[in-house]
Chains A and B, each alone.
With several copies, the nearest count.
Chain A
Amino acid sequence: MSSEYSANEMMIVSAARALAEARSVLVGVGLPNIACNLARRTVAPDLVLIYESGVIGARPARLPLSIGDPTIVSGAAWTGPMPDLFLYILQGGRIDAALLGTAQIDRWGNLNSTVIGPYEAPKVRLPGSGGACDIAINARRTLIITRLSSRTFVSSLDFHTTPGHTDFATDVHSRAVAGSGPELVITDRALFRFAEDEGEMELASLHPGVTKEQVEDHVGWPLKAAPEISSTPPPTPAELKIIREELDPEGLYR
């Protein structure tokens, strides 16, 4: 098989590798779903797949189209009311890691998935929080997965849907309640982490062939860099084989 790989495949393997040591993960659809299943087959064999729709220990027989797909129920270890999932599993602190997408992200890792433009008269009405705000506040680790683009990486959000590390800069008190903030931002060009001190986003790793300048061009604020910037290892043939032959044979997310 060709060792060429797509931007999506680079994001998938980066997310999967970030799940090493996680015992439980809240699974989204699309790339996050493939990433979680790849992690189970590589770095985290005991990883428990949890869906906010009310499923624990899912064994989907096909690539689920949504987090409500019936294939995540058949063969699962536990299926129950959503209140149990949100109260006892998520708020109960039983989710080690969760992957979130977003339409906008700022330098503190705050997310907007609600509106483009003013809330009362939006230019574009986006889906809204769903579980995102709840997950960011209650999961032990939050990973953001999104393409690098100046439309996404903005200096100021149109709406704060989901809290990041903003509380460092603003309200310290509520931080305990507002969760620990995102740990990693996974994009098609680079990986970003957040500074220990003030929680500002910094460039942590460049994907093969990508320059610091190319990244900075797509970020809407003066991007800080981590003390040392590493280079992301490309997908291994083994990882690509699992993705292409087992997880996404039809190449829907190629």
Chain B
Amino acid sequence: MVSKVTSMREAVERYVSDGCSLAVEGFTAFICFAAAHEIIRQGRRDLTLIRMTPDLVYDQMVAAGTARKLIFSYLGNPGIGSLHAIRRAVEQGLPGPLELEEYTHFGMIGRYIAGASRLPFFPLRSFSGSDLPRVNPNIRMLTDPFLGEQIAVVPPLNPDVAILHAQRADEQGNTQAWGLLGVQKEVAFASRHVIVVVEEIVEPALIRRDPNRTLIPDMIVDAVVHEPFGAHPSYVQGYYDRDNQQDQAWDGLSREPQALQDWLERWVYGVQDRQAYLKLLPPGTLERLKPLPVRSEAVDYGGYR
């Protein structure tokens, strides 16, 4: 089989086009900022950005003018504060208008599951007594054919492209992850194209010695990008911690459009790739973010001949 390994630049050029719908997922963990920054550098426009928690990664993409619409369930900088660029777009239409399509976390999860499963809808116990169905016609009620009870349903969500970060994959795209798995598996199966970005590319034999650890099988992966620290300032379990200093700094500078543009100039437009970005980090940053080792036990699958 031919290897799917490619550069971030090539992967974005090939799969992320103007106007497409894109899910760079990861619940606080595994958020691929390296991909977001490359998309900004390549000047993509009119994207529909899909994430449960838009987080800094979409605050930056909105500030850079890549987005037309947001599909989400929680607009915040986890544990820190607001997403000021997105708030400016929503509250003041700056730099441009931003369409919002809003759910609860469970609603987004249901949409991803339906999308991955080719189901016409997914039922869930939520939304009743909330105004969300009033402002989002995709949230509907259905009568259960067994007991006649009312239950909410949401339609499938099928992003054009998913970009998912993980610890490791082989060259074919068999991808293993541990830590907060979020909705990574569901998004991968729901999307038309899947780009996996990993800290390490490993031998297929290593993946195949622990098949239960494989989150995403190669058959649904289009491209594999090797990008160490590609999730910074988000984190990768066991590899590096969340860089709360940069996240906190963002809370301050992003309140000021000019300061935000200066930040993008320096950290995104001013570098050609993630390696150059890493060189801009204060000395000792990566060492500071490195966790202590806490290794799992190996398990035995047995050889059956």
A and B touch in the complex (CB under 8 A): yes
* Residues of A participating in the B interface, judged by any CB pair closer than 8 Å: 23-24, 29-30, 46, 48, 52-57, 59, 61-62, 64-71, 73-84, 86-88, 90-94, 110, 114, 119-120, 122-134, 137-138, 159-164, 166-167, 171, 173-174, 176-178
Complex Cα distance A54/B103, Å? 19
Nearest CB of chain B from residue A70's CB, rounded to whole Å = 5
**Pairwise interchain contact A55-B211, C-beta atoms closer than 8 A:** yes
**A56–B130 CB distance below 8 A:** no
Name B112's closest neighbour in chain A (CB-CB).
Answer: A83
| Chain B interface, number of residues (Cβ within 8 angstroms) | 79
Chain A residue numbers with a CB within 8 Å of B304 are 61-62, 69-71, 74
7 closest cross-chain pairs (CB), A and B: A68-B28, A163-B129, A66-B78, A66-B79, A130-B74, A71-B304, A134-B106
Q: B199: CB under 8 A from chain A?
A: no
A133 lies within 8 A of B91 (CB): no
Q: Smallest CB-CB separation from A132: which chain B residue?
A: B104
Taking a contact as CB atoms under 8 Å apart, the answer to whether A86 and B105 are in contact is: yes
How far apart sit A61 and B301, CA to CA, in the bound complex (Å)?
13
A91 to B238, CA, bound (A): 31
CB-contact partner of A125 in B87, B178, B241, under 8 A: B87
Asked if B237 is at the interface (CB within 8 A of a chain A CB), the reply is yes
CB distance from B31 to the nearest CB of A (A): 10
> Given the complex, which residues of A lie within 8 Å of B181, measured CB to CB?
54, 79-82
Cβ of B29 under 8 Å from chain A: yes
Contact of B130 among A77, A127, A163 (CB under 8 A): A163
Are B150 and A131 in contact (CB-based, < 8 A)?
no
> Within 8 Å CB of A114, what residues of B?
102, 131
| CB-based contact B129/A86 at 8 Å | no
A97 to chain B, nearest CB (A): 13
B179: Cβ under 8 A from any A Cβ: yes
On whether the beta carbons of B125 and A77 are closer than 8 Å, the reply is no
Q: Are A86 and B90 in contact (CB under 8 A)?
A: no
Within 8 A of A (CB), among B227-268: 235, 237, 241-242, 244
A84 to B184, CA, bound (A): 13
Given contacts A71-B305, A78-B214, A128-B75, contact A91 B119 (CB under 8 A): yes
In Å, the complex CA distance between A64 and B242 comes to: 11
Residue of B nearest to A90 (CB): B106
Instruction: Please state if A70 and B150 are interface contacts (CB–CB under 8 Å).
Output: no
Are A129 and B73 within 8 A (Cβ)?
Answer: yes
CA gap between A219 and B220 in the complex, in Å: 41
- In the complex, the answer to whether B104 meets A178 with C-beta atoms within 8 Å is no
CB of B280 closer than 8 Å to a CB of A: no
Contact at B211–A48, with CB atoms within 8 Å?
no
With CB as the reference atom, state the residue of chain A lying closest to B75. Answer: A127
Task: Report which residue of B72, B78, B180 has the largest number of chain A beta carbons within 10 angstroms of its beta carbon.
Answer: B180
> Could you list some 28 contacts between A and B, CB below 8 A?
A29-B79, A54-B182, A55-B211, A68-B28, A69-B28, A74-B301, A77-B208, A77-B218, A79-B212, A81-B184, A82-B183, A88-B186, A122-B91, A124-B87, A125-B87, A127-B74, A128-B73, A128-B74, A128-B75, A131-B104, A133-B127, A134-B106, A137-B125, A138-B125, A164-B129, A171-B129, A173-B150, A177-B128
Q: Which of A69, A93, A94, A124 contacts B91 (CB 8 A)?
A: A124
Annotate B110-131 by CB proximity to A: 1 below 8 A, 0 otherwise: 0011001111000011111111
Asked whether B167 is an interface residue with its Cβ less than 8 Å from the other chain, the reply is no
List residues of chain A with CB within 8 A of the CB of B74.
Answer: 127-131
Cβ of B78: which chain A residues have Cβ within 8 Å of it? Answer: 29, 65-68
Interfacial chain B residues near A161, Cβ < 8 Å? 130-132
Tell whether A67 pairs with B28 under 8 Å between CB atoms, given A57-B218, A125-B91. Answer: yes
Cβ-defined partner of B129 (8 Å) among A55, A64, A178? A178
Say whether B217 faces chain A, with CB atoms less than 8 Å apart. Answer: yes
Partner of A177, one of B75, B109, B151, B220: B151
CA distance A83 to B131 in the complex (A): 24
Residues of A within 8 A of B151 (CB): 177
Complex contact A122–B237 (CB within 8 A): no
A136 to chain B: closest residue by CB:
B129
Query: Which residues of B lie under 8 Å from residue A131 when comparing CB positions?
Result: 73-74, 104-106
B129 in contact with A110 (CB, 8 Å) = yes
Task: Tell which of A71, A78, A114 has the most Cβ of chain B within 10 Å.
Answer: A78
